[in-house]
Structure 1
Amino acid sequence: MIALEFKHGYAAGMTSPVQRIRPRRHGDARGWFTETYNRDTFAALGIACTFVQDNHSLSVPAYTLRGLHFQVPPRGQDKLVRCIRGRIFDVAVDIRRGSPTFGHWVGAELSAENGEQLFIPIGFAHGFLTLEPDCEVVYKCSDTYAPAQDGGIAWDGVGIDWPLPLGTRPELSPKDGMQPPLAGFDSPFAYDGRPLLPLA
């Protein structure tokens, strides 16, 4: 499949279900302050979910890949992802049944330096690749972890342009190394009328 890096002919003003969030930093001689989540600000962006769980991961080796993960209904998870140490390449893949962008993906570099976040709604598989050692990632979820609804697809089965050095294989968990391909996946996620668009 393809990365969405081109202009679509969809209606002007249509927002993508996956959104890049750029919180403003207010700095002075002491450092800076930023608001990483505000319910009203996010609602104005069309993000009205309620977050109920925060996760925090440390990946020690560079080029650790976690994903591609999701939870199936009725325990789907919206996610708000940011990197608080190091740099990652964060990815969302459209897995909504009937979507014109099914199998397409978008990705963005998130880092402690740029402070950017990625909002990934229910109906998208999520994963990230660390770009340097000792990366810490935190993300908010709209439902708690439900092992019986846990799902995933293969990290290398949808044509994602992972920024891996030539000849490098990512560090994977045994589980992520055996995820099934997207081809043949019977998606339980319904298309909501909003195609995946390039990240703003």
Structure 2
Amino acid sequence: MQAHALAVEGALQFTPRVFPDERGLFISPFQEEAFTEAHGAPLFHVAQTNHSMSRRGVVRGIHYTVTPPGTAKYVYCARGSALDIVVDIRVGSPTFGRWDSVLMDQRDHRATYLPVGVGHAFVALEDDTVMSYMLSESYVPANELSLSVLDPALGLPVTVDTEPVLSERDRAAVTFAEAHRQGLLPDYARCQEIERALAPDTAATTVPAEA
């Protein structure tokens, strides 16, 4: 599995090896050794997994979790194709206001890691696109916020051949600047503290060597 850093500090892209044969193919979208080497710590304890299906032209996001508690995510496209977008909305981050995107499809089977406090969005590029997530925290509706994915100040690549399909919540979301003015954005230093605390305590599971 190959890994490289995205333009948003702490966000990572992973590309697994694909093993095709006459039956179909086999891949491993998440591999602990590769993740730990790229991230510097093992993956968080998974509190919840999510699965969404979207038709072509659906745009979801920009979503983020109030921090604390904050939520880290590991995301891949299990079916179809999507443009996955990560946005740095952490006040004080060295990449504050930047975004990056990853094409997720059934050829390269890429995945992304989104650290605590960053915003997430994606554009479904074909019908029946399935996105799968591993989350560090259980979903609590009151903790979930949204920024306008169509905010011209951000200039996200959400254009599709048809009118973007958004939920009422996402269509009514505030702009990045307005959320900043209202103090709704996560603090980078606090996000980093929570991120470090997510690393599993490997020492507790280490088997001592025989005397």
Superposed displacement of residue 39, structure 1? 2.9
Which of these residues, 5, 14, 23, is aligned with residue 16 of structure 2? 23
Which of these residues, 17, 27, 37, is aligned with residue 34 of structure 1? 27
Please list the CA deviations of residues 112-160 of structure 1 after superposition, one character each: whole Å capped at 9, or x if unmatched.
2321111111121001011111211111111110112111110011111
SS of residue matched to 1:127: strand
Q: Distance in 1 between matches of 2:158 and 2:16?
A: 25
SS of residue matched to 2:168: coil
Computing the radius of gyration from Cα coordinates, the structure with the larger value is 2
Which of these residues, 161, 166, 176, is aligned with residue 172 of structure 1? 166
Which of these residues, 87, 97, 108, is aligned with residue 114 of structure 1? 108
Q: What is the match of residue 73 of structure 1?
A: 67
Q: What is the match of residue 159 of structure 1?
A: 155
Q: RMSD between aligned alpha carbons?
A: 1.9
Q: What is the match of residue 205 of structure 2?
A: none
Q: Distance in 1 between matches of 2:9 and 2:186?
A: 20
Would the aligned equivalents of 1:72 and 1:189 in 2 still touch at CA under 8 Å? no
Superposed displacement of residue 58, structure 1? 0.8
Q: Distance in 1 between matches of 2:90 and 2:111?
A: 22
Q: Distance in 2 between matches of 1:29 and 1:130?
A: 29
Q: Does 1:137 align with 2:135?
A: no
SS of residue matched to 1:68: strand
Aligned pairs (5 A) from 1:46-85: 46=39, 47-48=41-42, 49-60=44-55, 62-85=56-79
Would the aligned equivalents of 1:85 and 1:137 in 2 still touch at CA under 8 Å? yes
Superposed displacement of residue 16, structure 1? 4.3
Greater RCO (Cα-Cα under 8 Å, separation 6 or more):
1
Would the aligned equivalents of 1:75 and 1:146 in 2 still touch at CA under 8 Å? no
Please list the CA deviations of residues 8-66 of structure 1 after superposition, one character each: whole Å capped at 9, or x if unmatched.
9xxxxxx9411110011223333322222233331111153222211001113x11001
Deviating beyond 6 angstroms after TM superposition, the runs of 4 or more aligned structure 1 residues are: none
Q: Distance in 1 between matches of 2:160 and 2:24?
A: 33
Q: Distance in 1 between matches of 2:100 and 2:186?
A: 21
Q: Distance in 1 between matches of 2:159 and 2:103?
A: 10
Which of these residues, 95, 100, 107, is aligned with residue 94 of structure 2? 100
Q: Distance in 2 between matches of 1:99 and 1:78?
A: 16
Q: Distance in 2 between matches of 1:138 and 1:164?
A: 22
Would the aligned equivalents of 2:67 and 2:117 in 1 still touch at CA under 8 Å? no
Q: Which amino acid aligns with 1:42?
A: F
Q: How many residues align?
A: 176
Q: TM-score, normalised by structure 2?
A: 0.77
Would the aligned equivalents of 1:27 and 1:33 in 2 still touch at CA under 8 Å? yes
Q: Which amino acid aligns with 1:190?
A: Y
More helix by share: 2
Q: Distance in 2 between matches of 1:173 and 1:90?
A: 17
